[in-house]
Structure 1
Amino acid sequence: MRTGRLDPAARSRAIDTLARTSAATPLDILVVGGGVTGAGVALDAATRGLRVGIVDAGDWASGTSSKSSKLVHGGLRYLEMLDFALVAEALRERDLLLTTLAPHLVRPVSFVFPLDSPVADRAYIGSGMTLYDAMAIRPGTRRAMPLHRHLGPRGLRSRFPGLRTEHGGIEYGDAQVDDARLTHTLIRTAVAHGAVAANHAPVTGYLHASESTDGAAGGSATPSNSDGESGSDGSGTGRASGGDTGRASGADSSAGPASCTEDPAGRGTGRPIVGVRARDELTAEEFTIHARHTVLATGVWTERQQQLTGSSAGLRVLASKGIHITVPRDRIAADPGLGVITRTETSVLFIIPWGELWLIGTTDTPWRESVSHPLVTAEDIERVLTNANAVLSEPLERTDVVAAYAGLRPLVQPPADSDDSTRVSREHATKEIAPGASAIVGGKLTTYRVMAEDAVDFALRARRPHPRSRTESVPLLGADITEITGPRRERLRAAHGWDDARLDRLLHRYGSLLGELLDLIDERPELAEPLPGAREHLAVEAVYAVRAEGAVHLADVLHRRLRCDLACADRGVEAARAVAALIAPDLGWDAEATAAELQGFTAEVAAQRAAERTRTDAEAVAEYAARSRE
């Protein structure tokens, strides 16, 4: 198995490898979209021994997969809907992540459910919790989480003094994870198993087989492009820039030249999709990728990608906005590792322990603006504070809010004429977009692995037999070490001046990969120091984000690797200059490029924070756009 390292050179090699695919030598599966679902699809396919590629227009997990509630859970609300199969599936996946797949990343967390009445609510909620516990039973295995327990008013106050309660509550266990880190680790694990991955490589069009194609991924191709520009890269393979043409080394010339005339987006050809046209955002070079099957794992962008294929498959995806805020841990008194779940008029409210913070949300409102930039408004923040204060003994103020973020849930709306080309559950659907292409949409973080398995099975459904999924028994990178004890812990504490909290935090982020960070520190001892403005993090983590985790921009490092987007009041602006200096050599930035990165990062943060002072989504979008133009 490979190392799964994603440094700048590995990214460049990945794009070269993707560009060298041809009609004669296609990928088995190309995944478009690098969120948790797409990353899971890439890993599932790669561990089946398939030739796999994955690309994303932005950074890995730059969309919904870095903006969730960060919970790995069964979903109590589905019990009320009587969707027992879905709850059982999610609980199974939760326990699998906790015990086998990612015990270094997925950690137990307890919640109390405060009761509204001493008898009826306790009986109703208690019966649901009993069922929740029962559904988590796996014959022949130990429980991953303890059974729920009832707390009287006094017992609950002792465990959670900051909670307003008259009737006690019920305590139960679930799990939590840094959603972006889970996604990055999935990508790296997929690469370790042979997948080829390139972020910041948007798909600009889809390749259609010519009329003479016999249904295989060979023959000529007609790209359907978003920009309407026509052109040919000669063989249909290789990277092209500025009109240059070229044939990728190793391509089979017997396949003949590809005919790359344009087909306007939105007008279906009825011919199989045999790949995509993509662009390297860092170099502006365009290239084509050939694949036997393309899986769209693009979340709220699915309709846009469907249009880009020229398909009229009719898959509709609605966007629902959910926001979260963070507040300092000392603002709410509670035992460590204990949070709250309660009902609101329109959603469920979680108050989740998150390091030195509380993570509080969520909301559920329609989002009708651009899906590329979901924004938080002042009204959103007030709504979350109001819901939280309804159950807290000491009200939170707007000035307590450290950070806020918005994410979009992709809600699948299956067409009325669904047939065997569509498989739908309450949470996700797999749909054929055109011959050679399908979409997986909907779902939630906890069940990403099941969704990925469904997506790959769907892509391979015409093959008999096809290799079966193996991901149930494939741990993610770093999973083989979850604790450091004894003399080794003492040596690390003494060598670097780290306390137990620092060591545990590093271990829960990197697992056995922590050894790679320690190697960097051995080379440069100053990397063991905290970052200015983000002292929870070490300088080595910023360097490692570029050398191993695929980061190529400041926001990639500060927001999706170090999570300053939710943990720093200034969203990482103070730390940005130090981080830029650390990563510039590895990314080849000169003084001008470094200054441009700093300016772009600080401007983006300023635009988002300005939007948070508006009242409505439309006002937020207008303010964000105005600030972005400054």
Structure 2
Amino acid sequence: MASGKPTDPISSSTSDSRTPGGRLGPAERALAWQRLGAEAFDVVVVGGGVVGAGVALDAATRGLRVALVEARDLASGTSSRSSKLFHGGLRYLEQLEFGLVREALRERELMLTRLAPHLVKPVSFLYPLTRRLWERPYTAAGLLLYDTMGGARSVPGQKHLTRAGALRMAPALRRGSLIGAIRYYDAQADDARHTATVARTAAHYGAVVRTSTQVVGFRREADRVSGVRVRDVEDGAELDIRADVVINCTGVWTDELQRASGSRGRFRVRASKGVHIVVPRDRIVAETGLILRTEKSVLFVIPWRNHWIIGTTDTDWNLDLAHPAATEHDIDYLLEHVNSVLATPLTHADIEGVYAGLRPLLAGESEETSKLSREHAVARVAPGLVAIAGGKYTTYRVMAADAVNTAAVDLPGRLQPSITDQVPLLGADGYHALVNQADLLATKWSLHPYRVRHLLDRYGSLLHEVLACAANRPELLKPIDNAADYLQVEVVYAAAAEGALHLEDVLTRRTRIAIEYPHRGVGCARQVARLMAPVLGWDEEQVDWEISVYQARVDAERDSQTKPDDTAADSVRAGAPEPRRHLAEPIA
């Protein structure tokens, strides 16, 4: 159906084995398939979430021959459905996990200052105090420890506020809901964009990165794993990839892939569902985010552009791993808890978007998922096969280094040490200078300076590549209809350089239109599909099919969010069609 000839809005040529600028366009995708079948790799990474992308980058920058395959899209699972925070995990101090907090704060600092200052930004939170005498000194002591461990290096330290001071900072709070407050800082990022940038950086340093490429079997030589068999889920073609070691970075699918390899796992992964809702910024009048205690964990109200993200829930999930469904009960839980402190309560009518994700937690003895360890585990589960799971988004780089270190026993030659703490992600170099030049860039491209700064915070110094797609098509510098936060040129760039293969990839991950607008992306689906069409070679029939599949997804998600329990919601959501036509059933 995609019978047209793709066009390339970004021209480049190279004889280098690297992907210049980390491009993941149609031409690079075709070449990647040839390379996967023809070359032998040191490492094959399975899973295109943040850990898999991080492993590919870590291995590539150590000088290894690396391939990364992902069955769906980059960050299509957990890594696009988080709370979008780079944080030390303040609540883990109460669980005495000091090492995890210290490690996470170091990673947060690296992202803010060296590795991804264009993507990771400081964000403040207000912690309302509700109990006299003991709560302020108790919380202050915890935050002092947080700041001392590294939480106050590139962001301000804690600030104590009276009730009047807190209400000036957050007028939306109900006066009787607090007796004072403490403000502290963490950091946030668009998780899907960050993950895709890590993967593109890995490609820039030589990794072969290919999405819509599903592992359907394992190669074996005697008693060791020697590679994988993969299927192109766009056309059904299959081939074998040879590798010294396979690293399983599939998150909540870890156990499933380990069973498929015929190897007994060294640990078990348990999926915990987290649901978030998105509401307009004007529904909560505040200049800072909020962190609230709940009976189980904590609830965040996170500033997100012109919106607030409110979450999260924390419940066991044993159903469809690809499409966790939010229920009416999940949404009511979030509304109930946030409304307990708001002067003007939120209602279902205020909700712009809803998303559900699964945390891959290491199973423990406790039945409460919020008490399961957020530490990660890595093991050589068989000769030639390593698995890693657990952890938290913020520490992905540490997890990646540990996985590659564990794989060393199966690799020929001496393994170089990890250097990813010194490797800025694509777009980081030159970012600060471009911020200072935003007004000049705005004049050059006839854009508002605000728009240029918005683009810089999404692409960094890759901004020039993005805008180059509009060099001969100035109409692409206009906003997308019914999604004015994004320019049309961003859609073209997503298909030409960022590996987007389907309408869903652009509306849910390359942009966040699916959760930021009440129409959930349906209101601009046709325009976005037609912008993608010439890049990917779609004809009108394929455009119509992409729209119908996306519409069915949105309808199923809306319907699932009216159901009372997980089973009913999953039954509805699982009925929506997949845009990737040749996805295999889970291999067992």
2:469 is paired with a residue whose SS is: helix
Alignment of 1:471-490 (within 5 A): 471-483=420-432, 488-490=437-439
Q: Find the aligned partners of 1:50 and 1:182 in 2 and give their Cα distance.
A: 23
Match for 2:121: what amino acid? R
C-alpha distance 90-529 of structure 1, shift in aligned 2 (>3 A): same
Q: Find the aligned partners of 2:88 and 2:460 in 1 and give their Cα distance.
A: 25
Q: Please tell me whether residue 502 in structure 1 is matched to residue 430 in structure 2.
A: no
State which of 325, 329, 335 in structure 2 corresponds to 1:379.
Answer: 329
Q: Please tell me whether residue 340 in structure 1 is matched to residue 290 in structure 2.
A: yes
Alignment of 1:413-492 (within 5 A): 413=363, 426-461=374-409, 465-483=414-432, 488-492=437-441
The aligned residue for residue 158 of structure 1 is 168
1:111 is paired with a residue whose SS is: strand
Deviation, structure 1 residue 314: 4.8
Q: Find the aligned partners of 1:328 and 1:315 in 2 and give their Cα distance.
A: 41
C-alpha distance 413-487 of structure 1, shift in aligned 2 (>3 A): closer
Q: Find the aligned partners of 2:226 and 2:363 in 1 and give their Cα distance.
A: 26
C-alpha distance 485-51 of structure 1, shift in aligned 2 (>3 A): closer
Alignment of 1:576-615 (within 5 A): 576-615=525-564
Deviation, structure 1 residue 284: 1.2
Q: Please tell me whether residue 359 in structure 1 is matched to residue 359 in structure 2.
A: no
Structure 1's unaligned 5+ residue stretches are 211-270, 416-423
Q: Find the aligned partners of 1:129 and 1:96 in 2 and give their Cα distance.
A: 20
The aligned residue for residue 390 of structure 1 is 340
Deviation, structure 1 residue 432: 2.0
Q: Please tell me whether residue 176 in structure 1 is matched to residue 188 in structure 2.
A: yes
Match for 1:346: what amino acid? K
Deviation, structure 1 residue 153: 0.8
Deviation, structure 1 residue 437: 0.3
8 Å CA contact 2:244–2:410 kept in 1: the answer is no
Q: Please tell me whether residue 20 in structure 1 is matched to residue 38 in structure 2.
A: yes
Q: Find the aligned partners of 2:434 and 2:200 in 1 and give their Cα distance.
A: 27
Bigger-Rg structure (1/2)? 1
Deviation, structure 1 residue 402: 0.4
Q: Find the aligned partners of 1:443 and 1:166 in 2 and give their Cα distance.
A: 33
Alignment of 1:541-620 (within 5 A): 541-620=490-569
Match for 1:556: what amino acid? D
Match for 1:438: what amino acid? V
Q: Find the aligned partners of 2:168 and 2:230 in 1 and give their Cα distance.
A: 57
> 1:464-518 CA deviation, whole Å, 9 max, x = no partner?
7421000010000000233467994334334555334322211100000001112
Q: Find the aligned partners of 1:191 and 1:603 in 2 and give their Cα distance.
A: 33
Match for 2:425: what amino acid? L
Alignment of 1:278-357 (within 5 A): 278-335=230-287, 338-357=288-307
Aligned residues: 551
8 Å CA contact 2:43–2:244 kept in 1: the answer is yes
Q: Find the aligned partners of 1:143 and 1:51 in 2 and give their Cα distance.
A: 36
Alignment of 1:124-203 (within 5 A): 124-136=138-150, 143-164=153-174, 165-203=177-215
1:613 is paired with a residue whose SS is: coil
8 Å CA contact 2:438–2:453 kept in 1: the answer is no
8 Å CA contact 1:483–1:507 kept in 2: the answer is no
1:194 is paired with a residue whose SS is: coil
The aligned residue for residue 209 of structure 1 is 221
Q: Please tell me whether residue 74 in structure 1 is matched to residue 74 in structure 2.
A: no
The aligned residue for residue 51 of structure 1 is 65
Provide TM-score, normalisation by structure 2: 0.91
Deviation, structure 1 residue 176: 0.1
Q: Find the aligned partners of 2:495 and 2:211 in 1 and give their Cα distance.
A: 13
The aligned residue for residue 420 of structure 1 is none
1:158 is paired with a residue whose SS is: helix
Q: Find the aligned partners of 1:38 and 1:412 in 2 and give their Cα distance.
A: 17
Deviation, structure 1 residue 531: 0.3
Match for 1:32: what amino acid? V
Match for 2:190: what amino acid? D
Q: Find the aligned partners of 1:414 and 1:196 in 2 and give their Cα distance.
A: 36
Match for 1:440: what amino acid? I
C-alpha distance 485-428 of structure 1, shift in aligned 2 (>3 A): closer
Worse-superposed segment, 9-18 or 53-62: 9-18
Match for 2:346: what amino acid? L
C-alpha distance 607-322 of structure 1, shift in aligned 2 (>3 A): same
Deviation, structure 1 residue 191: 0.4
> 1:364-397 CA deviation, whole Å, 9 max, x = no partner?
0111211121011111111000011112121101
Deviation, structure 1 residue 346: 1.3
2:470 is paired with a residue whose SS is: helix
Match for 2:100: what amino acid? L
C-alpha distance 281-193 of structure 1, shift in aligned 2 (>3 A): same
Deviation, structure 1 residue 109: 0.3
8 Å CA contact 1:104–1:481 kept in 2: the answer is no
Deviation, structure 1 residue 310: 1.1
Alignment of 1:113-124 (within 5 A): 113-124=127-138
8 Å CA contact 1:47–1:470 kept in 2: the answer is yes
C-alpha distance 163-425 of structure 1, shift in aligned 2 (>3 A): closer
C-alpha distance 425-456 of structure 1, shift in aligned 2 (>3 A): farther
State which of 18, 24, 29 in structure 2 corresponds to 1:11.
Answer: 29
State which of 356, 361, 373 in structure 2 corresponds to 1:406.
Answer: 356
Deviation, structure 1 residue 628: 5.0
1:118 is paired with a residue whose SS is: coil
Alignment of 1:240-255 (within 5 A): none
> 1:266-303 CA deviation, whole Å, 9 max, x = no partner?
xxxxx100000001112211011010000000000111
Q: Find the aligned partners of 2:549 and 2:428 in 1 and give their Cα distance.
A: 36
Q: Find the aligned partners of 1:48 and 1:472 in 2 and give their Cα distance.
A: 12
Q: Find the aligned partners of 1:190 and 1:290 in 2 and give their Cα distance.
A: 19
**Aligned-CA RMSD value:** 1.8
Deviation, structure 1 residue 620: 0.7
Provide TM-score, normalisation by structure 1: 0.85
2:356 is paired with a residue whose SS is: strand
8 Å CA contact 2:255–2:265 kept in 1: the answer is no
> 1:91-145 CA deviation, whole Å, 9 max, x = no partner?
00000000000000000000010001232110100000000000007xxxx9211
Match for 2:170: what amino acid? F
Q: Find the aligned partners of 1:451 and 1:67 in 2 and give their Cα distance.
A: 19
8 Å CA contact 2:252–2:271 kept in 1: the answer is yes
C-alpha distance 118-545 of structure 1, shift in aligned 2 (>3 A): same
C-alpha distance 94-552 of structure 1, shift in aligned 2 (>3 A): same
1:136 is paired with a residue whose SS is: helix
Match for 1:194: what amino acid? G
Structure 2's unaligned 5+ residue stretches are 1-17, 366-371, 579-588
8 Å CA contact 1:153–1:169 kept in 2: the answer is yes
8 Å CA contact 2:383–2:410 kept in 1: the answer is no
> 1:3-44 CA deviation, whole Å, 9 max, x = no partner?
2111011011111101113xxxx2111000000000000000
Match for 1:101: what amino acid? L
C-alpha distance 625-191 of structure 1, shift in aligned 2 (>3 A): closer
Q: Find the aligned partners of 2:439 and 2:256 in 1 and give their Cα distance.
A: 54
Deviation, structure 1 residue 537: 0.4
